[in-house]
């Protein structure tokens, strides 16, 4: 429900300024504060607007960056610091310093926190899967290690985290199960256990499945199958995250709408979880975000080192505009839109799928200034008033 629209705030602010305020100067400055248009204020009644924070951003190393993060976003996901390998590198050692800081920072900024991620085949230490001889452990051993991890990590932030990406990237492109070490050891057993343990550790928080290339219908069908498997056993799942690692050429409107509907039809929330629009050439011919893909950089695949041509910036903005039109159309189904990074200077797409490129995926530039895409997104929010 819309409580008060942005335009109304501006009009009220203007009127207050006009109608006999003794201290005009003071009134002006407080009104302009109130009327400041941001992403989080523009979409506050529609969906959360999130970003991913790096270690440096959690530490608050750069004041301008910190101010931007607090101003524009009402939700944060740790880009790396809660991943298994970072938070629990050895059986007996946990790194909670940065995750603790992240949660405290979010509380200070009045932002929700999304935990990322509990069961994922990447950025996970080998000890989780292996015995002292380096052989894969049996499923019961894996489950008890998973339970210990989930109890410890989820339990620590109980009541302070809105939801966790419980399971990340468990599918192949054809919707079959990825042959990860989790799967080799337990088949689909680990999937049930991850959700069961997460629910037990914090019954109030939301539980999500998250994956890339979810505009691919075979893959979203696989995600729907996972959700149904859980639901059939009475295990809770609240939402499915579509990682938005997309480019100027995909996804199509039809693909995106079809995926949103398939997820919503299960009664689950849809989340756009890792949004960035790649503008660089793709000679590797890959889509998605399989982080183990690694190609050699070349001049041809890195053409905009000295700046992005206006024509490409325009395409980038148009793509964001068309995506946000769809997000807004499905605002009753979409709970959150999270960008994967704050600004172009700190996007993982500068180093993936080839290292050392200059990419322009996000909606703030390297000087922390809003790009054309930002203006177009805000305009969608304004039009709806
Ligand atoms: C990426 C981070 O952005 C990088 O800093 C890190 O080096 C690799 O992982 N899918 C996910 C995210 O779920 O966690 C990944 O994040 C990108 C793909």
Q: What pLDDT shows up at residue 34?
A: 54
**Nearest Cα residue to atom 8 of ligand 1:** 291
Question: Could you give the CA distance from residue 228 to residue 295 in angstroms, rounded to a whole number?
Answer: 36
Q: What pLDDT shows up at residue 9?
A: 41
Question: Could you give the CA distance from residue 297 to residue 293 in angstroms, rounded to a whole number?
Answer: 12
Q: What pLDDT shows up at residue 384?
A: 63
| Distance between Cα 12 and ligand 1 center (Å) | 43
Atom of ligand 1 nearest to the CA of 341: 3
Over the stretch 359-379, which tens digit does the pLDDT of each residue have? 999 999 999 999 999 999 999
pTM for the structure as a whole: 0.91
Task: Count the alpha carbons within 13 Å of 313 in the hemisphere toward its beta carbon.
Answer: 16
Question: Could you give the CA distance from residue 215 to residue 326 in angstroms, rounded to a whole number?
Answer: 13
Catalytic residue among 79, 169, 196, 206: 169
**Nearest Cα residue to atom 3 of ligand 1:** 348
Over the stretch 169-224, which tens digit does the pLDDT of each residue have? 999 999 999 999 999 999 999 999 999 999 999 999 999 999 999 999 999 999 99
Q: Which of 50, 80, 287 to mutate to test the pocket of ligand 1 (most atoms within 8 A of CB)?
A: 80
Told to judge if 274 belongs to the known catalytic residues of this protein, a careful annotator would answer yes
Told to judge if 169 belongs to the known catalytic residues of this protein, a careful annotator would answer yes
Instruction: Pull the structure tokens for residue 153.
Output: 């990590």
Three-state DSSP class for 58?
A: helix
Q: What pLDDT shows up at residue 360?
A: 98
Question: Could you give the CA distance from residue 340 to residue 342 in angstroms, rounded to a whole number?
Answer: 7
Q: Are 145 and 190 in contact (CB under 8 A)?
A: no
Give the rounded percent of residues in the chain with a pLDDT score beyond 70: 90
Q: What is the DSSP string of 306-367?
A: T---HHHHHHHHHHHHHHHHHHHHTTTTEEEEEESSSSGGG-GGGSSSBSS-----SSB-TT
- The class that CATH gives domain 47-383 is alpha beta
Question: Could you give the CA distance from residue 198 to residue 180 in angstroms, rounded to a whole number?
Answer: 20
Q: Could you tell me the pLDDT band of residue 344, with boundaries at 50, 70 and 90?
A: very high
Binding-site residues, ligand 1, Cβ < 6 A: 79-80, 168, 243, 274, 289, 291, 348
Atom of ligand 1 nearest to the CA of 210: 13
Question: Could you give the CA distance from residue 317 to residue 326 in angstroms, rounded to a whole number?
Answer: 14
Q: What is the mean pLDDT of residues 330-335?
A: 98
DSSP 22: S
Question: Could you give the CA distance from residue 183 to residue 340 in angstroms, rounded to a whole number?
Answer: 27
Give the rounded percent of residues in the chain with a pLDDT score beyond 90: 89
Q: What is the mean pLDDT of residues 61-83?
A: 98
Atom of ligand 1 nearest to the CA of 245: 18
Count CB-CB contacts under 10 A for residue 268. Answer: 21
User: Mean pLDDT across the chain, nearest whole number?
Assistant: 92
| Distance between Cα 196 and ligand 1 center (Å) | 25
Domain residues of the chain, as ranges? Answer: 47-383
Catalytic residue among 274, 375, 382, 385: 274
């Amino acid at each position: 429900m819309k409580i008060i629209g942005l335009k109304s705030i501006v009009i009220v602010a203007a009127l207050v300024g006009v109608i006999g305020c003794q201290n005009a100067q003071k009134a002006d400055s407080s009104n302009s504060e109130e009327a400041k248009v941001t992403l989080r204020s523009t979409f506050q009644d529609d969906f959360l607007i999130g970003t991913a924070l790096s270690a440096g951003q959690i530490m608050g190393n750069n004041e301008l960056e910190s101010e931007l993060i607090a101003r524009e976003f009402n939700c944060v996901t740790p880009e790396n610091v809660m991943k298994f390998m970072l938070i629990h590198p050895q059986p007996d050692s946990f790194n909670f310093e940065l995750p603790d800081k992240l949660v405290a920072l979010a509380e200070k900024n009045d932002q929700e926190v999304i935990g990322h991620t509990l069961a994922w085949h990447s950025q996970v230490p080998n000890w989780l899967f292996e015995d002292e001889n380096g052989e894969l452990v049996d499923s019961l051993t894996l489950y008890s290690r998973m339970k210990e991890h989930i109890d410890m990590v989820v339990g620590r932030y109980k009541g302070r985290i809105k939801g966790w990406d419980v399971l990340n990237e468990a599918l192949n492109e054809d919707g079959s199960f990825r042959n990860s070490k989790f799967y080799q050891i337990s088949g689909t057993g680990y999937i049930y256990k991850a959700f069961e343990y997460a629910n037990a550790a914090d019954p109030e928080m939301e539980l999500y499945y998250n994956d890339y290339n979810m505009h691919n219908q075979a893959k979203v069908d696989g995600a729907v199958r996972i959700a149904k498997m859980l639901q059939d056993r009475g295990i809770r799942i609240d939402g499915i995250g579509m990682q938005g690692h997309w480019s100027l050429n995909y996804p199509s409107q039809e693909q995106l709408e079809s995926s949103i509907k398939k997820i919503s039809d299960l009664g689950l929330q849809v989340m756009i979880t890792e949004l960035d629009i790649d503008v660089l050439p793709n000679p590797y011919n890959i889509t998605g975000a399989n982080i183990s893909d690694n190609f050699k950089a070349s001049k041809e695949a890195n053409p905009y080192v000295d700046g992005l041509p206006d024509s490409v910036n325009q395409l980038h903005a148009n793509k964001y505009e068309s995506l946000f039109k769809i997000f807004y159309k499905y605002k009753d189904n979409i709970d959150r839109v999270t960008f994967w990074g704050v600004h172009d200077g700190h996007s993982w797409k500068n180093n993936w799928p080839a290292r050392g490129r200059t990419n322009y995926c996000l909606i703030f530039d390297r000087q922390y200034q809003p790009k054309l895409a930002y203006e177009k997104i805000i305009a969608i929010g304004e039009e709806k008033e």
